[in-house]
Amino acid sequence: MGASHSHAGNHSSGSHHGPGHYVKIWAILLVLLVLSILGPEIGVKWITIVSAFGIAFVKAYIVVQEFMHLKNERRVVHYALATSLIAMGMFVAGIYADVGRTAGENWKNQAAQSLIDKHAAEGHNSSAPH
């Protein structure tokens, strides 16, 4: 048995597109990159959010579907990725109440408070809750 990629069950998830398809996807990604750079230059907050972050999600979606071929993968892979996203969401939800705070009912983070005080003293405009 040779050592090629033709083992049982070792089929590729790749589609049967030609190189032109991938070059086209790459060109679309570059256009989106340019838009994400130019958008914030307008100076309008909602345009900045949409162009910088909204386009990032679109670019990531295109890479996942077209380059990583997730659209051709079996459900088990989708479940694995969904599980990690849910886990991350739970971790964030668990710590959210304490994020940005330097003191709670039974704890105090003096080091973080000192940093905030230092920045405030240097003239920075910190809105971190105390």
Partner 1 sequence: MGAQIPIATTRSATGVPTGRLAVWWVIASEIVIFGGILVAYILGRLMNDYWGADAANTNVLAGSVNTFVLLTSSLFVVLAHQAAENKETDKAFRYIWLTILGGLIFLVIKSFEWSYEIHHGMTITSSRFWSFYYTAAGIHGLHVIAGMIIMGIISFDVKKGKFLHRVENIGIYWHFVDIVWIFLFPLLYIAK
Binding site for partner 1 (CB under 8 A): 1-5, 7-14, 17, 19, 22-23, 25-26, 29-30, 33, 36-37, 40, 48, 52-53, 55-56, 59-60, 63-64, 67-68, 73-74, 76-77, 80-81, 83-85, 87-88, 91-92, 96, 99-100, 115, 119, 124-129
Element housing 103 (H / E): none
* Helix, strand, coil content of the chain in percent (nearest 5): 65, 0, 35
Phi/psi for 87 (5° steps) reads: -60, -45
HSE of 67, CA atoms in CB hemisphere, 13 A: 14
Question: Which run of H or of E encompasses 14?
Answer: none
Q: Which residue type sits at 16?
A: H
Asked whether the beta carbons of 55 and 49 are under 8 A apart, the reply is no
